[in-house]
Structure 1
Amino acid sequence: MTTQNLELSSSSNLDVSQFQHTPYYCEENVFFLCKKLCESGTADAKGSDLFVVFISNEKKQIPLWHQKASNRADGVILWDYHVICIQKKNGGDSPHLVWDLDSSLPFPSPLDLYISETIRPSFQLFSEYQSRFFRIVHAPVFLQTFASDRRHMKDSVGNWIAEPPAYDPIVAEDGMVHNLNEYLDIHASDVAENAGVDLTSAVFSEKLGVVISHSQLEGFFSQI
């Protein structure tokens, strides 16, 4: 992911420093974050309670607040896309959790806090920034099918826009070497009209999950 100019209680023993993090490679960071949450016992061993969330829109311009890469006091930055992990919590008073390695909020953050402080749906944005869509993919599916050869992080002559991770690129279990573009191909027409039973069922079976708007986000996880 890359930035553009913008005018305008942890429940785990895991610290943010314990996770693999390469700036501007949020999709790969979340891939390994999911694996670590599973291996550490913080999440279900198979990742059944984890969901990978791609945030973007047709113009590839999404403002998010409290981001470490920002040079502003309020932490706002304009990403072309961003990727986070949401952990679904069942029963009791435990809130659903957002794991965002690029956020300056508590790690992890309760979903309602993350929405109000990072997404800020009530903030009056310029029209070109209003639409922010969320592609939600079940982590077990994502960990099997995601692939990236990092081609999106090279300029027109093949130079790196941002230094890549030292480890090898992620290859899907079926041998696919790059499909990141499929996850990032998000349009208003993809957004489901409601987060009903069919939608919450589809997220467990569809390779590319489902696409919803910010107004559906909390309701979606309450219905799973």
Structure 2
Amino acid sequence: MSSVASELPEMDATRFQHTPYYCEENVYLLCKTLCENGVADATGSDLFVVFISNEKKQASMSLFHFGIRKLVAELMGLYCGIIMSSASRKKESDSEPLVWDLDSTLPFPSPLTSYVTETIQLSFQLFAEYQRFFRIVHAPLFFKHFASDRRHMKEPDGTWTAQPPPYQPIVAQDGILHNLSEYITMSGADTLSSLDTETVTAAISQKLGVVVSHTQLQDLFTKLP
């Protein structure tokens, strides 16, 4: 997200790198691009990556604004198609976080409030085991620690379930080759019991960030430092 919706015109999402079914890598590269082109802070300090999953790894969202590739990603138990940026760079009272989602047909970027209304707040009640959780990871930590050698996209015989991106896999700064499962494993027990500023500040400084429920998502962004 960027800090103030009115200050940033809608962009063409198709101009950004996108490989179907590799949403976590798409988000990584989108974060990098937003940092490089000056939309975000150069270090990514105002960007947050969001993973969506649950204990069954079958997270549901409104599909009205999404294509089949997002549906498939959800059935695989992972959706990492969202970048949020806080309003920390500009402190205007009317500033609102924005959501950058390459898979959505909503404006790119979209204000957090409208994005939540259109895609996250479902019109039907989910069974408890399908409740969605959101892992929010600060982009500088994501850049440093995230790694994927794409093993989750291979069949037992080594064939690809979907054609991989043309660039090399993402390797963490410490040399780790794959840790995607750490980011998408989440449950109700992992969610914050309190959203006070001190708790949120401590949680967001961790490698894997913080896990919240869909009802906590918007409140979380009012507490970010």
- TM-score using structure 2 length: 0.87
Equivalent-residue separation in structure 2 for 1:109 and 1:148 (angstroms): 28
- TM-score using structure 1 length: 0.87
- Match of residue 100 from structure 1: 101
Query: Higher RCO, 1 or 2 (CA under 8 Å, sep at least 6)?
Result: 2
Match of 1:64 among 42, 61, 66: 61
- Match of residue 87 from structure 1: 85
1:55 counterpart = 2:56: no
- Match of residue 138 from structure 1: 138
Question: Mapping of 1:43-192 within 5 angstroms?
Answer: 43-65=40-62, 66-69=65-68, 78-79=74-75, 80-83=77-80, 84-89=82-87, 90-92=90-92, 93-121=94-122, 123-127=123-127, 130-192=130-192
- Match of residue 36 from structure 1: 33
Gaps of at least 5 residues in structure 2 are none
In the TM superposition, what is the alpha-carbon distance from 1:200 to its structure 2 partner? 1.7
Q: What's the secondary structure of 1:212's corresponding residue?
A: strand
- RMSD of the alignment, in Å? 2.1
Contact 1:132–1:213, Cα closer than 8 Å, also in 2 = yes
Q: What's the secondary structure of 1:198's corresponding residue?
A: helix
Distance change >3 Å, CA 111–CA 129, structure 1 → 2: farther
In the TM superposition, what is the alpha-carbon distance from 1:78 to its structure 2 partner? 4.3
In the TM superposition, what is the alpha-carbon distance from 1:130 to its structure 2 partner? 4.4
In the TM superposition, what is the alpha-carbon distance from 1:140 to its structure 2 partner? 0.4
Identity %: 52
Q: Which runs of 4+ in 1 moved over 6 A?
A: none
In the TM superposition, what is the alpha-carbon distance from 1:14 to its structure 2 partner? 4.0
- Match of residue 200 from structure 1: 200
Instruction: Compare 82-91 and 168-177 and name the one that shifted more.
Output: 82-91
> What CA deviation, in whole Å up to 9, does each residue of 1:31-61 have, x standing for no partner?
0000000111101111110001111000011
Distance change >3 Å, CA 91–CA 145, structure 1 → 2: same
In the TM superposition, what is the alpha-carbon distance from 1:175 to its structure 2 partner? 0.6
Aligned residues: 212
Contact 2:21–2:73, Cα closer than 8 Å, also in 1 = no
Equivalent-residue separation in structure 2 for 1:126 and 1:204 (angstroms): 27
Equivalent-residue separation in structure 1 for 2:39 and 2:174 (angstroms): 28
Equivalent-residue separation in structure 1 for 2:74 and 2:207 (angstroms): 27
Letter in 2 for 1:44: D
> What CA deviation, in whole Å up to 9, does each residue of 1:175-221 have, x standing for no partner?
11001111011111111112112332124420000111111111110
Equivalent-residue separation in structure 2 for 1:62 and 1:214 (angstroms): 11
Equivalent-residue separation in structure 2 for 1:77 and 1:48 (angstroms): 27
Contact 2:35–2:41, Cα closer than 8 Å, also in 1 = yes
- Match of residue 6 from structure 1: none
Q: What's the secondary structure of 1:167's corresponding residue?
A: coil
Gaps of at least 5 residues in structure 1 are 1-8
Letter in 1 for 2:52: I
Q: What's the secondary structure of 1:137's corresponding residue?
A: strand
In the TM superposition, what is the alpha-carbon distance from 1:151 to its structure 2 partner? 0.5
Contact 1:202–1:209, Cα closer than 8 Å, also in 2 = no
Q: What's the secondary structure of 2:84's corresponding residue?
A: strand
- Match of residue 5 from structure 1: none
Letter in 2 for 1:87: S
Letter in 1 for 2:66: Q
Letter in 1 for 2:186: I
